[in-house]
Amino acid sequence: MKSWLVAILAAALVARCTCGGRKHDPVRIVTFNIEHFPQDTRQVDGAFDEIVAAHANLIAAEEITDPALFGDEARRRLGPSWMFVFDRQRVDRHHHIGVLYDREAWQLASITEHDGTRLGPRDHGILEVRLAPARGGTTVRVLVIHFRPTSEGRAVRARQFEALAGVAADAKRSGERVVVLGDFNATEDGDRTDLSALARTADLQWATAGLACTAFWRRDDGCPRSRLDHVLTSEPPLRAVAAGACATEGCSWQRSCPLYVEEVSDHCPVIVDF
pLDDT band at 134 (very low <50, low <70, confident <90, very high): very high
- On average, the pLDDT of the chain sits at 91
Rounded to an integer, the average pLDDT of 82-86 is: 98
> Do the Cβ atoms of 125 and 87 come closer than 8 Å?
yes
Q: What is the homologous superfamily of the domain 23-273 according to CATH?
A: Endonuclease/exonuclease/phosphatase (3.60.10.10)
Report, as an integer, the average pLDDT of 92-97: 82
* Portion of the chain with pLDDT greater than 90, in percent: 82
d(CA 138, CA 12): 20
Least confident range of 82-91, 195-204, 261-270: 82-91
Ordered by start, the domain boundaries in the chain are: 23-273
Per-residue pLDDT, 6 = 36
Q: Which H helix or E strand runs over 9?
A: helix 3-16
Q: What is the pLDDT of residue 37?
A: 97
Q: How large is the average pLDDT for residues 56-65?
A: 97
Q: What is the pLDDT of residues 146-175, one digit of tens each?
A: 999 999 999 999 999 999 999 999 999 999
Side chain identity, residue 11: A
Q: What is the pLDDT of residues 225-255, one digit of tens each?
A: 999 999 999 999 999 999 999 998 878 888 9
Are 108 and 129 in contact by the 8 Å Cβ rule? The answer is: yes
β-pairing, 239-242 vs 205-206, is unpaired
pLDDT at position 5:
40
Helices (H), 174-211: 189-202
